[in-house]
Amino acid sequence: MNPSDDSKLRQRSTRTLAWLGDAEFEREVRLRLSRRGDYPTDRLDKLRARIVNAEAQAALLAELLDAGALREDELALVGRARNAAVRGGPRGRRNVRDYRAATALEALIAWWLVGGEAERFTSLISPAIEARIDKLMT
């Protein structure tokens, strides 16, 4: 595989996609929080943690599913990722259902970004992140 051909990353396991999507989702949240102002980093980190967690990500996926926003191929990926065996599993109070849904959302995010469909992320996920930040900042 050519190191610069990210589209082939779509063929990786859903766990690998979720690992990558987790980083991309958190990066996007951090970037958008930073754009809101020069706040103390402890405040930024607390705000980030309210958006980047299994429960919040599971809720975001549920919103996408309830709205019928996902295509058939995206639904298939979400189903595979949600049902994939996970190592380590949820920590603390997190329940398995939320953890698996968050994993599915993260896999979907990576699948879009490495597959040349960043506009899907921009149109579906970015507004949801902004809405959550708006709610936290008020």
Residue with tokens 């766990």: 15
CA distance 128 to 64: 10
Does residue 5 have an active-site annotation? no
What letter would DSSP give residue 124? I
CA distance 110 to 23: 9
- CA distances (Å), 106 to each of 19, 41, 130, in order? 7, 24, 17
The distance in angstroms from the start CA to the end CA of the chain is: 47
**Residue 14, phi then psi, degrees to nearest 5:** -65, -30
Among the options 22, 38, 98, 134, which is catalytic? 22
The residues assigned a catalytic role are 22
